Structure 1
Amino acid sequence: MDIDALKSFLAFVETGSFSRTATQMHKTQSAISMQMKKLQQEVGQTLFFKEGRNLHLTAEGIALAGYAKKIIQLQQCALTNLRSATPKKLLHLGCPDDYAESILPVLIQLLHRHIEHLELHVTCASSPNLLSQLDRGLIDIAIITRSADSEQGYLLCQDKGVWIGANQTQLLEQAVLPLAVFQKECRFHQAATEGLMKQNRDFHLVACSGSASALRGLVKHDLAISAMANLSRNTLPVLHDPRLPILPNIEIALVKHTGTNAAVSDIQLEQICHQFQHQFQC
Protein backbone atom coordinates (compact mmCIF):
# COMPACT_ATOMS: atom_id res chain seq x y z
CA MET A 1 0.00 0.00 0.00
CA ASP A 2 1.11 3.52 -0.80
CA ILE A 3 2.56 5.24 2.30
CA ASP A 4 1.32 8.65 1.18
CA ALA A 5 -2.22 7.30 0.74
CA LEU A 6 -2.09 5.72 4.21
CA LYS A 7 -0.95 9.05 5.70
CA SER A 8 -3.88 10.78 3.98
CA PHE A 9 -6.23 8.07 5.28
CA LEU A 10 -4.95 8.55 8.85
CA ALA A 11 -5.29 12.32 8.46
CA PHE A 12 -8.99 11.75 7.64
CA VAL A 13 -9.35 9.44 10.65
CA GLU A 14 -7.85 12.19 12.82
CA THR A 15 -9.78 15.14 11.38
CA GLY A 16 -12.97 13.51 10.07
CA SER A 17 -12.84 15.86 7.10
CA PHE A 18 -11.51 15.52 3.54
CA SER A 19 -11.08 19.32 3.38
CA ARG A 20 -8.92 19.45 6.52
CA THR A 21 -7.04 16.36 5.31
CA ALA A 22 -6.30 18.15 2.03
CA THR A 23 -5.05 21.22 3.92
CA GLN A 24 -2.77 19.20 6.19
CA MET A 25 -1.41 17.04 3.37
CA HIS A 26 -0.95 20.04 1.03
CA LYS A 27 -3.12 18.43 -1.66
CA THR A 28 -6.39 19.27 -3.35
CA GLN A 29 -9.57 17.68 -2.04
CA SER A 30 -10.00 15.85 -5.35
CA ALA A 31 -6.50 14.38 -5.00
CA ILE A 32 -7.38 13.09 -1.52
CA SER A 33 -10.63 11.60 -2.86
CA MET A 34 -8.68 9.83 -5.63
CA GLN A 35 -6.21 8.43 -3.09
CA MET A 36 -9.06 7.07 -0.99
CA LYS A 37 -10.72 5.54 -4.07
CA LYS A 38 -7.49 3.78 -5.06
CA LEU A 39 -6.97 2.62 -1.48
CA GLN A 40 -10.46 1.08 -1.39
CA GLN A 41 -9.78 -0.66 -4.71
CA GLU A 42 -6.48 -2.03 -3.43
CA VAL A 43 -7.99 -3.26 -0.17
CA GLY A 44 -11.08 -4.58 -1.93
CA GLN A 45 -13.38 -3.24 0.78
CA THR A 46 -15.57 -0.20 1.36
CA LEU A 47 -13.78 1.99 3.89
CA PHE A 48 -16.36 4.78 4.28
CA PHE A 49 -20.08 5.22 4.54
CA LYS A 50 -22.08 8.44 4.41
CA GLU A 51 -24.45 9.56 7.16
CA GLY A 52 -26.10 12.85 6.28
CA ARG A 53 -23.30 15.14 5.15
CA ASN A 54 -20.63 13.31 7.14
CA LEU A 55 -18.39 10.39 6.18
CA HIS A 56 -17.67 7.67 8.73
CA LEU A 57 -15.41 4.61 8.73
CA THR A 58 -16.84 1.15 8.09
CA ALA A 59 -15.67 -1.79 10.20
CA GLU A 60 -13.06 -2.47 7.50
CA GLY A 61 -11.99 1.18 7.60
CA ILE A 62 -11.50 1.00 11.38
CA ALA A 63 -9.43 -2.17 10.95
CA LEU A 64 -7.29 -0.53 8.26
CA ALA A 65 -6.69 2.49 10.53
CA GLY A 66 -5.10 0.18 13.10
CA TYR A 67 -2.82 -1.40 10.50
CA ALA A 68 -2.00 1.97 8.93
CA LYS A 69 -0.86 3.44 12.25
CA LYS A 70 1.53 0.53 12.76
CA ILE A 71 2.86 0.80 9.19
CA ILE A 72 3.49 4.55 9.51
CA GLN A 73 5.07 4.11 12.94
CA LEU A 74 7.39 1.41 11.57
CA GLN A 75 8.31 3.65 8.65
CA GLN A 76 9.05 6.57 10.99
CA CYS A 77 11.05 4.28 13.28
CA ALA A 78 13.06 2.93 10.32
CA LEU A 79 13.80 6.42 9.01
CA THR A 80 14.78 7.65 12.47
CA ASN A 81 17.16 4.73 13.05
CA LEU A 82 18.73 4.76 9.56
CA ARG A 83 19.25 8.48 9.12
CA SER A 84 22.13 10.32 10.73
CA ALA A 85 21.15 12.29 13.80
CA THR A 86 21.01 16.03 13.28
CA PRO A 87 22.64 18.41 15.80
CA LYS A 88 19.35 20.21 16.47
CA LYS A 89 15.80 18.88 16.37
CA LEU A 90 13.43 21.80 15.90
CA LEU A 91 9.92 21.39 17.29
CA HIS A 92 7.12 23.98 17.20
CA LEU A 93 4.69 23.43 20.07
CA GLY A 94 1.36 25.22 20.50
CA CYS A 95 -0.29 25.69 23.90
CA PRO A 96 -3.38 27.59 25.05
CA ASP A 97 -2.43 30.35 27.48
CA ASP A 98 -4.63 28.81 30.19
CA TYR A 99 -2.43 25.68 30.36
CA ALA A 100 0.92 27.51 30.22
CA GLU A 101 1.45 27.30 33.98
CA SER A 102 0.11 23.79 34.60
CA ILE A 103 0.26 21.40 31.62
CA LEU A 104 3.10 23.02 29.66
CA PRO A 105 6.01 22.74 32.16
CA VAL A 106 5.44 19.01 32.72
CA LEU A 107 5.10 18.33 28.99
CA ILE A 108 8.25 20.27 28.12
CA GLN A 109 10.20 18.32 30.72
CA LEU A 110 9.05 15.05 29.13
CA LEU A 111 9.82 16.27 25.59
CA HIS A 112 13.40 17.08 26.55
CA ARG A 113 13.69 13.73 28.31
CA HIS A 114 12.67 11.85 25.15
CA ILE A 115 14.30 14.03 22.45
CA GLU A 116 18.00 14.81 22.50
CA HIS A 117 19.29 18.16 21.19
CA LEU A 118 15.75 19.54 21.15
CA GLU A 119 15.20 23.14 20.06
CA LEU A 120 11.69 23.96 21.23
CA HIS A 121 9.60 26.95 20.10
CA VAL A 122 6.32 27.57 21.99
CA THR A 123 3.31 29.47 20.60
CA CYS A 124 0.38 30.41 22.86
CA ALA A 125 -3.08 30.72 21.30
CA SER A 126 -6.61 29.34 21.67
CA SER A 127 -7.33 25.69 20.75
CA PRO A 128 -9.22 26.58 17.50
CA ASN A 129 -6.38 28.93 16.50
CA LEU A 130 -3.78 26.25 17.21
CA LEU A 131 -5.69 23.68 15.14
CA SER A 132 -5.71 26.14 12.25
CA GLN A 133 -1.95 26.66 12.61
CA LEU A 134 -1.50 22.89 12.80
CA ASP A 135 -3.45 22.39 9.55
CA ARG A 136 -1.25 24.97 7.82
CA GLY A 137 1.96 23.37 9.07
CA LEU A 138 2.96 26.38 11.18
CA ILE A 139 3.32 24.23 14.31
CA ASP A 140 4.17 20.54 14.74
CA ILE A 141 2.22 19.58 17.86
CA ALA A 142 -0.36 21.35 20.01
CA ILE A 143 -2.02 21.03 23.40
CA ILE A 144 -5.76 21.48 22.85
CA THR A 145 -9.05 21.27 24.69
CA ARG A 146 -11.30 18.61 23.17
CA SER A 147 -14.81 17.34 23.83
CA ALA A 148 -15.17 14.43 26.22
CA ASP A 149 -16.44 12.20 23.38
CA SER A 150 -13.59 13.10 20.97
CA GLU A 151 -10.77 10.77 19.96
CA GLN A 152 -8.60 13.54 18.51
CA GLY A 153 -4.93 13.29 19.40
CA TYR A 154 -3.49 11.67 22.52
CA LEU A 155 -5.18 12.20 25.89
CA LEU A 156 -3.14 14.08 28.49
CA CYS A 157 -5.73 14.50 31.25
CA GLN A 158 -9.34 15.31 32.07
CA ASP A 159 -10.60 18.41 33.83
CA LYS A 160 -13.82 20.20 34.75
CA GLY A 161 -15.09 23.73 34.32
CA VAL A 162 -15.40 25.91 37.45
CA TRP A 163 -16.63 29.36 38.32
CA ILE A 164 -14.03 31.54 40.08
CA GLY A 165 -14.18 34.82 41.96
CA ALA A 166 -12.07 36.77 44.45
CA ASN A 167 -15.09 37.54 46.62
CA GLN A 168 -17.45 34.65 47.38
CA THR A 169 -20.65 36.71 47.59
CA GLN A 170 -20.39 40.39 46.63
CA LEU A 171 -20.52 40.17 42.83
CA LEU A 172 -23.05 37.33 42.85
CA GLU A 173 -25.55 39.60 44.58
CA GLN A 174 -25.40 42.29 41.89
CA ALA A 175 -28.46 42.68 39.65
CA VAL A 176 -26.24 42.44 36.56
CA LEU A 177 -23.53 39.82 36.95
CA PRO A 178 -20.08 40.99 35.70
CA LEU A 179 -18.28 38.33 33.63
CA ALA A 180 -14.72 38.03 32.31
CA VAL A 181 -14.48 34.99 30.03
CA PHE A 182 -12.49 33.51 27.19
CA GLN A 183 -13.38 34.32 23.60
CA LYS A 184 -16.52 33.06 21.85
CA GLU A 185 -15.02 29.83 20.48
CA CYS A 186 -14.24 28.64 24.03
CA ARG A 187 -16.71 26.09 25.38
CA PHE A 188 -16.65 27.78 28.81
CA HIS A 189 -17.68 31.09 27.22
CA GLN A 190 -20.58 29.34 25.52
CA ALA A 191 -21.62 27.34 28.59
CA ALA A 192 -21.44 30.39 30.88
CA THR A 193 -23.31 32.87 28.68
CA GLU A 194 -25.90 30.42 27.32
CA GLY A 195 -26.50 28.99 30.80
CA LEU A 196 -27.13 32.42 32.27
CA MET A 197 -29.45 33.35 29.40
CA LYS A 198 -31.48 30.18 29.99
CA GLN A 199 -31.80 31.23 33.63
CA ASN A 200 -32.90 34.72 32.52
CA ARG A 201 -30.01 36.06 34.59
CA ASP A 202 -28.73 39.47 33.49
CA PHE A 203 -24.97 39.69 32.95
CA HIS A 204 -22.40 42.08 31.53
CA LEU A 205 -19.25 41.00 29.68
CA VAL A 206 -16.54 43.05 31.33
CA ALA A 207 -13.98 41.52 28.94
CA CYS A 208 -13.35 38.58 26.61
CA SER A 209 -9.74 37.44 26.30
CA GLY A 210 -7.65 34.53 25.08
CA SER A 211 -5.32 35.08 28.04
CA ALA A 212 -6.04 33.23 31.27
CA SER A 213 -3.69 35.55 33.17
CA ALA A 214 -5.69 38.57 31.98
CA LEU A 215 -8.95 36.99 33.16
CA ARG A 216 -7.42 36.01 36.51
CA GLY A 217 -6.19 39.60 36.93
CA LEU A 218 -9.71 40.95 36.51
CA VAL A 219 -11.06 38.38 38.95
CA LYS A 220 -8.33 39.12 41.53
CA HIS A 221 -9.28 42.78 41.47
CA ASP A 222 -12.92 41.79 42.06
CA LEU A 223 -14.07 43.31 38.77
CA ALA A 224 -15.75 40.12 37.54
CA ILE A 225 -16.22 36.41 38.01
CA SER A 226 -15.01 33.95 35.39
CA ALA A 227 -15.55 30.44 34.02
CA MET A 228 -12.54 28.31 33.13
CA ALA A 229 -10.92 24.92 33.59
CA ASN A 230 -10.01 24.03 37.15
CA LEU A 231 -6.37 23.70 36.04
CA SER A 232 -6.37 27.32 34.86
CA ARG A 233 -7.60 29.04 38.01
CA ASN A 234 -4.29 28.86 39.95
CA THR A 235 -5.04 29.85 43.56
CA LEU A 236 -8.30 31.68 42.91
CA PRO A 237 -11.21 30.22 44.89
CA VAL A 238 -14.01 28.22 43.26
CA LEU A 239 -17.50 29.66 43.54
CA HIS A 240 -19.87 26.95 44.76
CA ASP A 241 -23.18 28.68 44.12
CA PRO A 242 -26.27 26.77 42.89
CA ARG A 243 -27.42 29.88 41.01
CA LEU A 244 -24.53 29.58 38.57
CA PRO A 245 -24.93 27.29 35.50
CA ILE A 246 -23.12 23.97 35.43
CA LEU A 247 -19.95 24.05 33.31
CA PRO A 248 -18.82 21.17 31.08
CA ASN A 249 -16.12 18.58 31.66
CA ILE A 250 -13.26 18.66 29.18
CA GLU A 251 -10.32 16.59 28.00
CA ILE A 252 -6.88 18.00 27.28
CA ALA A 253 -5.04 16.28 24.45
CA LEU A 254 -1.84 16.51 22.44
CA VAL A 255 -2.29 16.54 18.65
CA LYS A 256 0.32 16.27 15.90
CA HIS A 257 0.46 17.59 12.34
CA THR A 258 -0.09 14.43 10.29
CA GLY A 259 1.75 15.61 7.18
CA THR A 260 5.12 16.46 8.67
CA ASN A 261 8.21 14.61 9.86
CA ALA A 262 8.53 16.49 13.13
CA ALA A 263 11.23 16.01 15.74
CA VAL A 264 8.85 13.79 17.69
CA SER A 265 7.37 10.56 16.32
CA ASP A 266 3.93 9.08 17.01
CA ILE A 267 5.56 6.38 19.15
CA GLN A 268 7.32 9.02 21.25
CA LEU A 269 4.10 11.04 21.62
CA GLU A 270 2.27 7.97 22.90
CA GLN A 271 5.03 7.30 25.42
CA ILE A 272 5.16 10.96 26.51
CA CYS A 273 1.38 11.18 27.00
CA HIS A 274 1.34 7.88 28.90
CA GLN A 275 4.07 9.14 31.24
CA PHE A 276 2.29 12.48 31.58
CA GLN A 277 -0.87 10.76 32.81
CA HIS A 278 1.10 8.98 35.54
CA GLN A 279 3.14 12.04 36.52
CA PHE A 280 0.52 14.81 36.39
CA GLN A 281 -2.34 15.07 38.84
CA CYS A 282 -5.33 17.02 37.51
Structure 2
Amino acid sequence: MQTLDLAVMRTLLAAVETGSFAGAARKVGRSESAVSLQLKRLEEQIGEPVFLRAGKQMTLTGAGSRLVEYARRLLDLNDEALSAASESSTGGTVTLGVPHDVTETWLPAVIEGFRRSHPSATLKVVEGRSAILLSRLADDQIDLAIVFSAKRPENAVWSADLPMAWIGRDDYGLKKHQPLRLAAFDPPCFFRAAAIASLEHAGIDWSIGYVSNTLPDLWSAVKLDLGIAVRTPAAVPAGLAILDSEHGLPDLPPFRVSLCRSATELKRPITDRLRVILEECLALSVSAAT
Protein backbone atom coordinates (compact mmCIF):
# COMPACT_ATOMS: atom_id res chain seq x y z
CA MET A 1 0.00 0.00 0.00
CA GLN A 2 1.37 3.40 -1.00
CA THR A 3 1.51 6.32 1.44
CA LEU A 4 0.38 9.83 0.63
CA ASP A 5 2.92 12.58 1.29
CA LEU A 6 1.42 15.20 3.63
CA ALA A 7 3.64 17.90 2.13
CA VAL A 8 2.07 17.15 -1.25
CA MET A 9 -1.39 17.26 0.33
CA ARG A 10 -0.60 20.71 1.69
CA THR A 11 0.55 21.81 -1.77
CA LEU A 12 -2.65 20.41 -3.31
CA LEU A 13 -4.81 22.45 -0.93
CA ALA A 14 -2.70 25.54 -1.60
CA ALA A 15 -3.26 25.12 -5.35
CA VAL A 16 -7.02 24.77 -4.83
CA GLU A 17 -7.25 27.77 -2.51
CA THR A 18 -5.12 30.11 -4.64
CA GLY A 19 -6.33 28.84 -8.02
CA SER A 20 -2.85 28.53 -9.54
CA PHE A 21 0.50 26.78 -9.22
CA ALA A 22 2.16 30.18 -8.83
CA GLY A 23 -0.09 31.04 -5.88
CA ALA A 24 0.48 27.62 -4.34
CA ALA A 25 4.24 28.07 -4.71
CA ARG A 26 4.13 31.35 -2.79
CA LYS A 27 1.98 29.84 -0.07
CA VAL A 28 4.06 26.70 0.58
CA GLY A 29 7.44 28.35 -0.01
CA ARG A 30 8.48 26.32 -3.05
CA SER A 31 9.24 27.14 -6.66
CA GLU A 32 6.43 26.85 -9.21
CA SER A 33 8.28 24.05 -10.99
CA ALA A 34 8.58 22.14 -7.69
CA VAL A 35 4.83 22.50 -7.11
CA SER A 36 4.11 21.27 -10.64
CA LEU A 37 6.39 18.27 -10.11
CA GLN A 38 4.77 17.45 -6.76
CA LEU A 39 1.28 17.38 -8.26
CA LYS A 40 2.42 15.45 -11.31
CA ARG A 41 3.83 12.74 -9.06
CA LEU A 42 0.60 12.76 -7.06
CA GLU A 43 -1.38 12.10 -10.26
CA GLU A 44 0.99 9.26 -11.10
CA GLN A 45 0.53 7.84 -7.61
CA ILE A 46 -3.29 7.78 -7.70
CA GLY A 47 -3.46 6.97 -11.41
CA GLU A 48 -5.90 9.81 -12.13
CA PRO A 49 -5.59 13.47 -13.18
CA VAL A 50 -6.23 15.91 -10.33
CA PHE A 51 -6.73 19.10 -12.36
CA LEU A 52 -8.17 19.93 -15.76
CA ARG A 53 -6.58 23.01 -17.29
CA ALA A 54 -8.11 25.45 -19.77
CA GLY A 55 -5.64 28.26 -20.29
CA LYS A 56 -4.96 29.74 -16.86
CA GLN A 57 -8.10 28.18 -15.39
CA MET A 58 -7.73 25.05 -13.25
CA THR A 59 -10.68 22.82 -12.39
CA LEU A 60 -10.61 19.85 -10.07
CA THR A 61 -11.52 16.49 -11.57
CA GLY A 62 -13.83 14.14 -9.73
CA ALA A 63 -10.83 12.29 -8.33
CA GLY A 64 -9.24 15.60 -7.39
CA SER A 65 -12.32 16.80 -5.50
CA ARG A 66 -12.48 13.57 -3.51
CA LEU A 67 -8.78 13.74 -2.73
CA VAL A 68 -9.03 17.36 -1.51
CA GLU A 69 -11.54 16.37 1.17
CA TYR A 70 -9.23 13.63 2.42
CA ALA A 71 -6.26 16.02 2.26
CA ARG A 72 -7.99 18.45 4.60
CA ARG A 73 -8.80 15.68 7.06
CA LEU A 74 -5.27 14.26 6.92
CA LEU A 75 -3.66 17.65 7.51
CA ASP A 76 -6.07 18.51 10.32
CA LEU A 77 -5.23 15.22 12.03
CA ASN A 78 -1.51 15.76 11.44
CA ASP A 79 -1.62 19.25 12.95
CA GLU A 80 -3.66 18.06 15.93
CA ALA A 81 -1.20 15.21 16.55
CA LEU A 82 1.78 17.57 16.46
CA SER A 83 0.05 19.96 18.84
CA ALA A 84 -0.93 17.19 21.24
CA ALA A 85 2.63 15.82 21.27
CA SER A 86 4.18 19.10 22.33
CA GLU A 87 3.10 20.63 25.62
CA SER A 88 4.71 23.94 24.72
CA SER A 89 2.50 24.26 21.65
CA THR A 90 -0.81 23.63 23.39
CA GLY A 91 -0.67 26.35 26.02
CA GLY A 92 -0.61 30.09 25.95
CA THR A 93 -2.89 32.79 24.62
CA VAL A 94 -3.42 33.98 21.07
CA THR A 95 -5.44 37.11 20.34
CA LEU A 96 -7.55 37.40 17.19
CA GLY A 97 -9.17 40.58 15.90
CA VAL A 98 -12.32 40.30 13.78
CA PRO A 99 -14.78 42.73 12.14
CA HIS A 100 -18.38 42.78 13.35
CA ASP A 101 -19.57 40.77 10.31
CA VAL A 102 -17.31 37.81 11.15
CA THR A 103 -18.50 37.26 14.71
CA GLU A 104 -21.68 35.37 13.84
CA THR A 105 -20.64 33.94 10.47
CA TRP A 106 -17.11 32.51 10.18
CA LEU A 107 -15.92 32.77 13.78
CA PRO A 108 -17.79 29.82 15.38
CA ALA A 109 -16.15 27.30 13.02
CA VAL A 110 -12.74 28.84 13.69
CA ILE A 111 -13.19 28.62 17.47
CA GLU A 112 -14.34 25.00 17.25
CA GLY A 113 -11.35 23.96 15.12
CA PHE A 114 -8.88 25.80 17.33
CA ARG A 115 -10.22 24.38 20.58
CA ARG A 116 -10.10 20.88 19.14
CA SER A 117 -6.42 21.18 18.21
CA HIS A 118 -5.31 23.32 21.20
CA PRO A 119 -7.54 22.40 24.15
CA SER A 120 -5.16 24.00 26.69
CA ALA A 121 -4.73 27.27 24.80
CA THR A 122 -6.75 30.45 25.28
CA LEU A 123 -8.24 32.16 22.24
CA LYS A 124 -9.02 35.80 22.94
CA VAL A 125 -11.26 37.50 20.37
CA VAL A 126 -11.34 41.28 19.91
CA GLU A 127 -14.19 42.67 17.80
CA GLY A 128 -13.82 45.99 16.00
CA ARG A 129 -13.55 47.88 12.75
CA SER A 130 -10.82 46.99 10.32
CA ALA A 131 -8.91 50.26 10.67
CA ILE A 132 -8.81 49.84 14.44
CA LEU A 133 -7.74 46.20 14.16
CA LEU A 134 -4.85 47.10 11.85
CA SER A 135 -3.77 49.75 14.34
CA ARG A 136 -3.84 47.22 17.16
CA LEU A 137 -1.78 44.81 15.07
CA ALA A 138 0.82 47.52 14.56
CA ASP A 139 0.89 48.14 18.32
CA ASP A 140 1.26 44.38 19.07
CA GLN A 141 -2.03 44.31 20.96
CA ILE A 142 -3.30 41.39 18.85
CA ASP A 143 -1.58 38.55 17.01
CA LEU A 144 -3.84 38.00 13.97
CA ALA A 145 -6.71 39.95 12.46
CA ILE A 146 -9.30 39.50 9.73
CA VAL A 147 -9.77 42.86 8.03
CA PHE A 148 -11.83 44.35 5.20
CA SER A 149 -10.16 46.89 2.90
CA ALA A 150 -10.01 48.20 -0.67
CA LYS A 151 -6.49 46.84 -1.21
CA ARG A 152 -4.45 44.00 0.25
CA PRO A 153 -2.65 45.21 3.40
CA GLU A 154 1.13 44.87 3.45
CA ASN A 155 1.06 42.55 6.46
CA ALA A 156 -1.53 40.18 4.95
CA VAL A 157 -0.67 36.47 4.91
CA TRP A 158 -3.87 35.59 2.99
CA SER A 159 -6.25 37.72 0.93
CA ALA A 160 -9.15 37.34 -1.50
CA ASP A 161 -11.87 39.36 -3.22
CA LEU A 162 -15.37 39.35 -1.77
CA PRO A 163 -18.45 41.15 -3.12
CA MET A 164 -20.28 43.90 -1.28
CA ALA A 165 -24.06 43.92 -1.26
CA TRP A 166 -26.96 46.27 -0.64
CA ILE A 167 -29.08 44.71 2.09
CA GLY A 168 -32.62 45.79 2.91
CA ARG A 169 -36.14 44.57 3.55
CA ASP A 170 -37.78 42.13 1.14
CA ASP A 171 -40.31 44.79 0.17
CA TYR A 172 -37.77 47.56 -0.38
CA GLY A 173 -38.32 49.94 -3.28
CA LEU A 174 -36.39 53.12 -4.09
CA LYS A 175 -38.89 55.97 -3.85
CA LYS A 176 -38.79 58.62 -6.58
CA HIS A 177 -38.00 62.19 -5.59
CA GLN A 178 -36.80 61.06 -2.15
CA PRO A 179 -33.20 60.57 -1.06
CA LEU A 180 -32.12 57.00 -0.48
CA ARG A 181 -31.69 56.45 3.25
CA LEU A 182 -28.60 54.61 4.49
CA ALA A 183 -28.22 52.71 7.74
CA ALA A 184 -24.51 52.71 8.54
CA PHE A 185 -21.80 52.89 11.14
CA ASP A 186 -20.12 56.13 12.13
CA PRO A 187 -17.08 56.99 10.01
CA PRO A 188 -14.49 55.75 9.45
CA CYS A 189 -16.42 52.82 7.99
CA PHE A 190 -15.29 51.01 4.85
CA PHE A 191 -18.80 49.94 3.81
CA ARG A 192 -20.31 53.36 4.47
CA ALA A 193 -17.69 55.05 2.28
CA ALA A 194 -18.23 52.53 -0.53
CA ALA A 195 -22.01 53.00 -0.42
CA ILE A 196 -21.77 56.80 -0.59
CA ALA A 197 -19.21 56.71 -3.40
CA SER A 198 -21.39 54.37 -5.48
CA LEU A 199 -24.52 56.47 -4.95
CA GLU A 200 -22.79 59.72 -5.82
CA HIS A 201 -21.22 58.17 -8.93
CA ALA A 202 -24.71 57.07 -10.02
CA GLY A 203 -26.19 60.50 -9.27
CA ILE A 204 -28.55 59.16 -6.60
CA ASP A 205 -29.44 61.48 -3.72
CA TRP A 206 -28.87 59.97 -0.30
CA SER A 207 -29.09 60.71 3.39
CA ILE A 208 -28.10 58.90 6.56
CA GLY A 209 -31.29 57.45 8.00
CA TYR A 210 -29.70 55.66 10.96
CA VAL A 211 -26.27 55.50 12.61
CA SER A 212 -25.23 52.48 14.66
CA ASN A 213 -22.17 51.19 16.50
CA THR A 214 -23.10 47.50 16.54
CA LEU A 215 -24.14 45.12 13.79
CA PRO A 216 -27.26 43.71 15.55
CA ASP A 217 -28.46 47.28 16.09
CA LEU A 218 -27.79 48.06 12.42
CA TRP A 219 -29.84 45.07 11.25
CA SER A 220 -32.69 46.10 13.55
CA ALA A 221 -32.74 49.55 11.94
CA VAL A 222 -32.82 48.03 8.45
CA LYS A 223 -35.71 45.76 9.45
CA LEU A 224 -37.57 48.84 10.71
CA ASP A 225 -37.05 50.42 7.27
CA LEU A 226 -34.90 53.24 8.66
CA GLY A 227 -32.42 52.69 5.83
CA ILE A 228 -30.59 50.09 3.76
CA ALA A 229 -27.07 48.90 4.53
CA VAL A 230 -24.00 47.83 2.61
CA ARG A 231 -22.18 44.83 4.09
CA THR A 232 -20.73 41.48 3.06
CA PRO A 233 -23.34 39.04 1.71
CA ALA A 234 -21.84 36.21 3.79
CA ALA A 235 -24.80 36.17 6.18
CA VAL A 236 -27.98 38.09 5.54
CA PRO A 237 -30.34 38.10 8.57
CA ALA A 238 -33.78 36.54 8.27
CA GLY A 239 -36.32 39.01 6.98
CA LEU A 240 -33.75 40.92 4.93
CA ALA A 241 -32.60 40.42 1.35
CA ILE A 242 -29.78 41.29 -0.99
CA LEU A 243 -30.88 44.15 -3.24
CA ASP A 244 -29.61 44.84 -6.75
CA SER A 245 -30.10 46.98 -9.86
CA GLU A 246 -33.74 45.84 -10.13
CA HIS A 247 -34.31 47.88 -6.96
CA GLY A 248 -32.74 50.94 -8.60
CA LEU A 249 -29.40 50.53 -6.83
CA PRO A 250 -25.95 50.98 -8.39
CA ASP A 251 -23.28 48.29 -8.58
CA LEU A 252 -20.81 48.05 -5.74
CA PRO A 253 -17.10 47.27 -6.11
CA PRO A 254 -15.58 44.15 -4.57
CA PHE A 255 -13.39 44.49 -1.51
CA ARG A 256 -10.51 42.55 0.00
CA VAL A 257 -10.92 40.27 2.98
CA SER A 258 -7.47 39.62 4.41
CA LEU A 259 -5.84 37.74 7.24
CA CYS A 260 -3.07 39.89 8.69
CA ARG A 261 -0.35 39.07 11.15
CA SER A 262 1.58 41.23 13.60
CA ALA A 263 5.09 41.84 12.25
CA THR A 264 6.66 41.26 15.65
CA GLU A 265 4.58 38.26 16.73
CA LEU A 266 6.82 35.28 17.52
CA LYS A 267 6.08 32.35 15.21
CA ARG A 268 4.44 30.28 17.93
CA PRO A 269 2.79 26.95 17.07
CA ILE A 270 -0.58 28.08 18.42
CA THR A 271 -0.54 31.19 16.23
CA ASP A 272 0.44 29.19 13.16
CA ARG A 273 -2.31 26.67 13.84
CA LEU A 274 -4.92 29.42 14.20
CA ARG A 275 -3.65 30.97 10.95
CA VAL A 276 -4.12 27.67 9.08
CA ILE A 277 -7.64 27.23 10.45
CA LEU A 278 -8.52 30.81 9.52
CA GLU A 279 -7.16 30.48 5.99
CA GLU A 280 -9.15 27.31 5.36
CA CYS A 281 -12.35 28.78 6.83
CA LEU A 282 -11.99 32.04 4.91
CA ALA A 283 -11.29 30.26 1.63
CA LEU A 284 -14.45 28.17 1.98
CA SER A 285 -16.55 31.19 2.98
CA VAL A 286 -15.31 33.32 0.10
CA SER A 287 -15.97 30.47 -2.34
CA ALA A 288 -19.53 30.11 -1.03
CA ALA A 289 -20.17 33.86 -1.24
CA THR A 290 -18.91 34.17 -4.82
Provide the TM-score with structure 2 as the length reference: 0.60
1:108-164 alpha-carbon deviations (Å, 9 max, x no partner): 222223334111221110000011111111111111113365564233764211111
1:243-272 alpha-carbon deviations (Å, 9 max, x no partner): 312112123222221212375556435532
1:234 equivalent among 230, 233, 237: 237
**Residues 225 and 174 of structure 1: is their aligned pair in 2 closer, same or farther, counting only changes over 3 Å?**
farther
Tell me if 1:252 matches 2:257: yes
1:74-117 alpha-carbon deviations (Å, 9 max, x no partner): xxxxxx99x96287411221111111111211222222233341
Separation in structure 2 between the aligned mates of residue 122 and residue 259 of structure 1, nearest angstrom: 19
Q: Which residue is equivalent to 1:77?
A: none
Q: Which residue is equivalent to 1:113?
A: 116
**Residues 152 and 86 of structure 1: is their aligned pair in 2 closer, same or farther, counting only changes over 3 Å?**
closer
Write out aligned runs for 1:1-282 (5 A).
85=88, 88-147=91-150, 152-155=155-158, 158-173=161-176, 175-235=178-238, 236-242=240-246, 243-261=248-266, 264=269, 267-269=272-274, 271-277=276-282, 280=285, 281-282=288-289
Contact 1:98 1:213 in 2 (8 A): no
Separation in structure 2 between the aligned mates of residue 182 and residue 158 of structure 1, nearest angstrom: 22
Contact 1:91 1:120 in 2 (8 A): yes
Unaligned runs of 5+ in 1: 1-62, 68-79
Unaligned runs of 5+ in 2: 1-25, 31-82
**Residues 172 and 262 of structure 1: is their aligned pair in 2 closer, same or farther, counting only changes over 3 Å?**
farther
**Residues 261 and 119 of structure 1: is their aligned pair in 2 closer, same or farther, counting only changes over 3 Å?**
same
Greater relative contact order, per chain length (Cα 8 Å cut-off, separation 6+): 1
Residue type at the aligned position of 1:252: V
- 2:169 is paired with a residue whose SS is coil
Identity percentage over the alignment?
A: 25
**Residues 156 and 265 of structure 1: is their aligned pair in 2 closer, same or farther, counting only changes over 3 Å?**
farther
- 2:162 is paired with a residue whose SS is strand
**How many residues in Structure 1 have an aligned counterpart in Structure 2?**
206
Q: Which residue is equivalent to 2:45?
A: none
**Residues 202 and 264 of structure 1: is their aligned pair in 2 closer, same or farther, counting only changes over 3 Å?**
farther
